[in-house]
Structure 1
Amino acid sequence: MTLFSIARKNIRKNFTNYFLYMASMIFSIVIYFTFVSLKYDDAIQASTDSSTKISSAFNGAAVVLMIFVAVFIWYSNSFFTKKRKKEVGLYSLLGVRKKQIGQMLFYENFIMGIIALIIGIVLGTLLSKFFVTLLMKIMGYEAMGNFVISPAAIINTIVVFIIITAITSIHGYRLIYRFKLIELFKAEQEGEKEPKASFLIAVFSIILLGIGYWLALQNLLESNAWRTLGFAVTPIVILITVILGTYLLFSTLTVYLLKVLRKNKKHFWHGINLISISQLLYRMKGNARTLTIIAVLSATTLSAVGAAYSFYYNNRSNAEIANPNSMMFITKDSHIADQVKERVSQDKSHKIVYHETIPTLNIDVDITNLNSKMSADQVEYSVIDNKTYNKLIKLQKRNDSLSLKGNEAAVLDAGYFEGLSPKYVGSTVSLKVNDSSKNITFKTLKKFNVLNLYTANTTLVVSNELFSKLANETNLVNIEAYKITNEDDAKILTKDIQSLLPEEAYFSNFYSNYAQGMESSGLIIFMGGFLGLVFLAATGSIIYFKQLTEANIDKERYEILHKIGVNKKEVKKSIARQILFIFALPLIAGIAHSIVALTALSRLMQTNLVIPVFICIGIYVCIYIAYYFLTVNTYYKIVTKSDKQ
């Protein structure tokens, strides 16, 4: 019997142990193949206006995915090799040379890699239409994907994964030479010394995490800590403190808490808590690095996917903030305005909700007194009167109104940013009209718009009497505003109106902003979602592999427990608690890290990310729970396989 046939037989007989490893590889190959093939898809290139950017984005995502999958396969392969120390030792005892054992393990890994590659490419090809359609749908396009086979994507995927498989197989081959025969047979006794726990280091881990969290949640513009450390150095300090704090949390604080729990005699001697607590205690130090990696990866995944989904989730509201009116333009030619009105009125897909001609003044304002960090001392504002503001507010269905008198004014600044934007309320500024100046005092600040941003500047609302005086001294500009139904599906109407208007009309519209946002945020959520799933599958698999390794080591111990009368129900309960501890630690830490990161992001962007973030966390936790139950059941089957009961 050749080494190749023995390797093939081993895979067939141990397929249950290899299944999740192969499934994770297949899933990774499907996603990588999808990313590579999407950039060649004709439907995407024909439908989108930024096909070059999409191609570049998928190239970048594919590189990230390739590196991560390579690390994951390397890590998993190391687990499988170490798990089979006893088997390798038996081969050595029977006279099989290490070179031949290494070749056999090389063949096993390479066979699994080739099988995963073939299945992954076939599945990726079959699912190509679905993935293209999904991407187009997320990006807001109606084009349907076609069933296509991309030879370039197939060749790219084959080359990349054969190289990855070859490298990991060679790594497994070399790993054999690192073990002596006595080490192979005494693998179970390795790393079984009771770890030491320092109360001071345990407290230090909490302090490190506290420092990282505190720095992350600081206001970047007003924080003395950020200014002192520097805007380039502070993020690095945050990363170091959080990662080091997480490692010390797992390696020291958890050990300390387990030792405290062990001193609680009532709990420690209840049922078989003795076994589960002891096993966790003795292995916690060895698991700390793995759990830290998983916690950091979970935090990165949740933060990236949460941020990506929040952009997609808030796309409509962001477009509405910039464009409270469906369409807006400055009109100087009444004939063109009539043409636009006729085109909008005749469109069968859209009905006019309202159409208003808004008298506006464009006035230079001296804002030196406002201490703005974002603009010059003199800016141009769009000025409307109190009556027009109240009318637009009612049409736009906002529950608000103003009652301004004399030289009182209100400012509408949807992009207001605390610490950077001008300090409006209570301040006085000077309006420059021809050769004279008129002072106004800001009574209130409204953090929304009634005029579209591209057509109008930051808007000032003044009293009706002041507006009349200003209108007599400067030129009045009429702005046409339309609100239509189905404004998110107005591509044809928008293009037609754009062709009617000159460039100086400063045409702005809801559809263009909405469509661009859907395209960019849809692409981000598509890539972020799939990369997140790969990361999740990898992290869950790493814990699964680790627990399977420990299950084989613990098998004899559970057999002894069964012989002294411990029933299977108690055994499964102990296993469930033990594995829950291992799964919960990195998950809770990862969620905590991501919530802090996303809270900092929401403050920076001044948007509410609560709903999209909790949706992402919910999905992540559900998949993690599925991994948990799979691990518990597999662990239980391994340790009770030879039981007679």
Structure 2
Amino acid sequence: MNKFFFSKLALRNLKSNKQIYFPYIFASIATVAMFYMMVALRGNKFIQTRSDTLSLLFALGAIVVGVFSFIFILYTNSFLIKRRKKEIGLYAILGMKKSHVSKILTIESMVTSCFSIVVGVVVGHLLGELAFLVLNYALKFGIEMSFPFTIQAMLVTIGLFALIFLTTLGYNITQVTFSNPIQLIKGKQTGEREPKSSLILFILSLLLIGSGYWMSLTIDNPLDAMIYFFLAVLLVIAGTYFLFISGSIFILKKLKKNKPFYYRPSPFISISGMLYRMKQNAVGLANITILATMVIVAVSTTAAIFIGTEDTLTVRLPYENQRTYYETVDLAEQLEAIEKETEANGLNVTGTEMYVYYNLFSIIEDNKIMIGAADFAKEIPDTIQLLIREDYERIVGETVPLSSDEVLLFDSKNTFGFSTVIIGNTTYQVKSKIDNPLKMDKSQSPNMIMIVDSRETLESIMETDFRLREIDLPIVADAVISWNTNGTQAQKKDYSEKTAAVVSDSGNSYFQSRELLREEWYSMNGGFLFLGIFLGLLFTFGAALITYFKQVSEGYDDRDKFQIMQKVGLDKQMIRKTTRLQIVWMFLLPLIIAVIHVAFAFPIIQKLLLLFSVVNTTLVFWCFIGVITGFSVIYWLIYQVTSKVYYGIVE
């Protein structure tokens, strides 16, 4: 036998079966491109320099897309091999050995997989470049976003999809090895066995999803939310797959037992057809649900971050300007100098807040502040901000008598119920509980604010903290002056730039201003929105791809059956009616489950957004509502287009 015989036969097979290979190769290229773009984004300079959390989020996204790619390629391959079983069976009847057939399948797989991987990486990079070019032009956020080409992303993509295609090849060879020719010839016409609804699997799915929901609903600390968010996501993803595989079958069997409903032409045909192929349908629906959830979360959160930029600036700086001193200063003299400098620039100071403070980072245990007990590498310490009585009285506008062994206490969590507080070896009486005297959002509030009687008491506590933590620095409390000014935005920006130049020359303090931060924050948050829109488009494309391929595969599976139905007298109108239940499963169910996931994820997402100083819950809520509405419309259009493909095949 000619050594090129199998290669020629494999290439001829690809050409003669182009009707089914074209959708498979297209789906493979698209999946490779989608995964490559997700991994390549981790090399984006914006993502690398902003925060480790952002990089970690994209790593999690790449893992999710990788799992989706594995499942989706296996699904499309099963459709392909099922339609070729008759052809493979004929090879065996004509005398070809199973080893020869396996060799042909291997060559076919090498050609299609290598082509898909190479073209997929190229297409992925070109689409990424094009998308970034268009978004940079359309959005104009003041920051040029680039889509990088990285060897690492390419190698990771090649490695993953080489493994995926090897797995599909192993599955295909197994189908040939363990089947006789007659089984293979009848394989295309052989329907799947009616799947059993596993109560254990159904309960497991509810437990997994419930655990993820419980984490979202019970976590209060934003830093804890960041840690547990990834675990909650993985639990819900796993639970979603199990829910669709087991729960959908359970519901269909319940509908089947409803005899008055089931024994009618439309429900009978639709439910029977879906029930026998529900394992494949369930995985496809679960994939769509997960991608829909990712679209909604990615676009909604980044939109909230960008739209809420002004709120973020206000949270970060409650006053328009703030100067922090690192040495002992007379606050009254400094404020007078600020007022004169402001007037020299044609503006006036309209509101002020100034105080001396020291932040004590420690562990609060009962009524004890355990100085030096916190291991900063392993745990997040409590923050206790110390102020002096004189500054507190000026801020609140009232006189409060306070002795050296007494303190006023603000407890952000309102859980401190003791009459004394112990710092080091000194016991202080809690004279009264107070509200937060400082103008700040609760998300920025320390665990405690403690008012002591004098600067001497404050420095005594500082000395204890420095000694126990072995800090060899001068004992000097920091001081802050915050103020607003009148004038236009342009005047305020000019004033801020001049003030910043003066402060930078002083060397004893630093200056912050909303006007100086505004452009930087809008650019940074615009970058987040840019990435959110890009990911939204990417995941929407993934959902569209699954929907299209699912409709094509179902169309080919249903065509012969519907032709038989037409021959026995079922008209085309009735054929269309038989797809209504499938439309409910295909269109409504993934969207409904995705919205439920998002609703339960809202609390933990809100906590995560606090890390970005997004505190406007109403804004976040309406961003989610807007994105859900927009995605629903897009998803409906996708389904309408792909439904025409389905009807074109079956009719």
Q: Calculate the TM-score normalised by the size of structure 2.
A: 0.68
2:106 counterpart residue number: 102
Moved more, 179-188 or 272-281: 179-188
Q: 1:530 pairs with 514, 531, 534, which one? A: 534
Partner secondary structure for residue 324 of structure 1: coil
1:272 counterpart residue number: 266
1:315 counterpart residue number: 309
Any residues of structure 2 matched to 1:158-169 within 5 Å, and which?
168-169=164-165
The residue type equivalent to 1:582 in the other structure is: M
2:500 counterpart residue number: 498
| Counterpart-to-counterpart distance in 2, 1:457 and 1:162 | 49
Partner secondary structure for residue 187 of structure 1: coil
1:195 counterpart residue number: 195
The answer on whether the counterparts of 1:33 and 1:153 sit within 8 Å (CA) in structure 2 is no
1:633 counterpart residue number: 644
Partner secondary structure for residue 194 of structure 2: coil
2:83 counterpart residue number: 86
The residue type equivalent to 1:250 in the other structure is: F
The residue type equivalent to 2:175 in the other structure is: F
The answer on whether the counterparts of 1:370 and 1:422 sit within 8 Å (CA) in structure 2 is no
2:440 counterpart residue number: 449
| Counterpart-to-counterpart distance in 2, 1:450 and 1:220 | 16
2:514 matches 1:507: no
The alpha-carbon distance between structure 1 residues 133 and 259, as it changes in their structure 2 partners (threshold 3 A), is: same
Moved more, 624-633 or 548-557: 624-633
1:216 counterpart residue number: 216
The answer on whether the counterparts of 2:321 and 2:512 sit within 8 Å (CA) in structure 1 is yes
The answer on whether the counterparts of 2:88 and 2:185 sit within 8 Å (CA) in structure 1 is no
The residue type equivalent to 1:192 in the other structure is: E
Partner secondary structure for residue 379 of structure 1: strand
| Counterpart-to-counterpart distance in 2, 1:19 and 1:526 | 30
The answer on whether the counterparts of 1:384 and 1:461 sit within 8 Å (CA) in structure 2 is no
2:289 matches 1:262: no
- Count of matched residue pairs: 578
1:24 counterpart residue number: 30
| 1:311 Cα deviation after fit | 3.6
The alpha-carbon distance between structure 1 residues 125 and 381, as it changes in their structure 2 partners (threshold 3 A), is: same
| 1:387 Cα deviation after fit | 8.7
| Counterpart-to-counterpart distance in 1, 2:39 and 2:430 | 64
| Counterpart-to-counterpart distance in 1, 2:238 and 2:496 | 54
Percent of aligned positions that are identical: 21
Partner secondary structure for residue 153 of structure 1: coil
| Counterpart-to-counterpart distance in 1, 2:61 and 2:235 | 26
| Counterpart-to-counterpart distance in 1, 2:71 and 2:106 | 17
Q: 1:250 pairs with 223, 239, 244, which one? A: 244
Q: 1:481 pairs with 468, 480, 483, which one? A: 483
The residue type equivalent to 2:272 in the other structure is: S
The residue type equivalent to 1:611 in the other structure is: W
The residue type equivalent to 1:90 in the other structure is: E
The alpha-carbon distance between structure 1 residues 604 and 78, as it changes in their structure 2 partners (threshold 3 A), is: closer
The residue type equivalent to 1:379 in the other structure is: L
Partner secondary structure for residue 449 of structure 1: coil
| Counterpart-to-counterpart distance in 2, 1:583 and 1:134 | 31
| Counterpart-to-counterpart distance in 2, 1:200 and 1:273 | 28
Any residues of structure 2 matched to 1:36-75 within 5 Å, and which?
38-39=44-45, 53=49, 71-75=67-71
Structure 1: stretches of 5+ with no match in the other structure: 45-50, 391-403, 431-436, 468-474, 641-645
| 1:384 Cα deviation after fit | 5.5
The alpha-carbon distance between structure 1 residues 342 and 26, as it changes in their structure 2 partners (threshold 3 A), is: farther
| Counterpart-to-counterpart distance in 1, 2:156 and 2:608 | 39
Any residues of structure 2 matched to 1:183-582 within 5 Å, and which?
183-188=183-188, 192-197=192-197, 206=206, 209-210=209-210, 212-219=212-219, 242=236, 245-292=239-286, 294-296=288-290, 298-299=292-293, 302-303=296-297, 305-329=299-323, 352=347, 354-356=349-351, 379-380=386-387, 417-418=412-413, 441-442=432-433, 444=435, 448-449=439-440, 479=481, 481-483=483-485, 494-501=496-503, 502-511=506-515, 514=518, 517-518=521-522, 521-582=525-586
| 1:499 Cα deviation after fit | 2.4
- Give RMSD over aligned pairs: 5.6
The answer on whether the counterparts of 1:312 and 1:518 sit within 8 Å (CA) in structure 2 is yes
The answer on whether the counterparts of 1:103 and 1:173 sit within 8 Å (CA) in structure 2 is no
| Counterpart-to-counterpart distance in 1, 2:391 and 2:280 | 68
| Counterpart-to-counterpart distance in 1, 2:162 and 2:184 | 25
Partner secondary structure for residue 196 of structure 1: coil
Partner secondary structure for residue 17 of structure 1: helix
The alpha-carbon distance between structure 1 residues 384 and 297, as it changes in their structure 2 partners (threshold 3 A), is: same
| 1:274 Cα deviation after fit | 0.8
| 1:545 Cα deviation after fit | 2.6
The answer on whether the counterparts of 2:270 and 2:582 sit within 8 Å (CA) in structure 1 is yes
Partner secondary structure for residue 322 of structure 2: strand
| Counterpart-to-counterpart distance in 1, 2:366 and 2:170 | 72
The answer on whether the counterparts of 1:326 and 1:481 sit within 8 Å (CA) in structure 2 is yes
The residue type equivalent to 1:283 in the other structure is: R
| 1:459 Cα deviation after fit | 8.4
The residue type equivalent to 2:74 in the other structure is: S
The answer on whether the counterparts of 1:354 and 1:484 sit within 8 Å (CA) in structure 2 is yes
2:624 matches 1:613: yes
2:174 matches 1:178: yes
| 1:637 Cα deviation after fit | 1.4
| Counterpart-to-counterpart distance in 2, 1:158 and 1:65 | 17
| 1:581 Cα deviation after fit | 0.5
1:395 counterpart residue number: none
The answer on whether the counterparts of 1:487 and 1:510 sit within 8 Å (CA) in structure 2 is no
| 1:276 Cα deviation after fit | 0.8
The residue type equivalent to 1:196 in the other structure is: K
The answer on whether the counterparts of 1:360 and 1:478 sit within 8 Å (CA) in structure 2 is yes
The answer on whether the counterparts of 2:29 and 2:117 sit within 8 Å (CA) in structure 1 is no
Q: 1:587 pairs with 578, 586, 591, which one? A: 591
| Counterpart-to-counterpart distance in 2, 1:113 and 1:233 | 34
| Counterpart-to-counterpart distance in 1, 2:58 and 2:203 | 41
Deviations 1:385-428 (A, max 9, x none): 789769xxxxxxxxxxxxx68779xx998xx853xx6659xx98
| 1:93 Cα deviation after fit | 1.6
1:602 counterpart residue number: 606
The answer on whether the counterparts of 2:83 and 2:188 sit within 8 Å (CA) in structure 1 is no
The answer on whether the counterparts of 1:488 and 1:515 sit within 8 Å (CA) in structure 2 is no
Moved more, 14-23 or 82-91: 14-23
Moved more, 352-361 or 613-622: 352-361
The residue type equivalent to 2:34 in the other structure is: S
The alpha-carbon distance between structure 1 residues 357 and 588, as it changes in their structure 2 partners (threshold 3 A), is: closer
| 1:614 Cα deviation after fit | 2.6
The residue type equivalent to 2:629 in the other structure is: G
| Counterpart-to-counterpart distance in 2, 1:580 and 1:10 | 36
The answer on whether the counterparts of 2:383 and 2:448 sit within 8 Å (CA) in structure 1 is no
Q: Calculate the TM-score normalised by the size of structure 1.
A: 0.68
| Counterpart-to-counterpart distance in 1, 2:61 and 2:382 | 41
Partner secondary structure for residue 647 of structure 2: helix
The residue type equivalent to 1:587 in the other structure is: L
| Counterpart-to-counterpart distance in 2, 1:234 and 1:143 | 29
The alpha-carbon distance between structure 1 residues 548 and 368, as it changes in their structure 2 partners (threshold 3 A), is: closer
The alpha-carbon distance between structure 1 residues 263 and 4, as it changes in their structure 2 partners (threshold 3 A), is: closer
| 1:375 Cα deviation after fit | 5.0
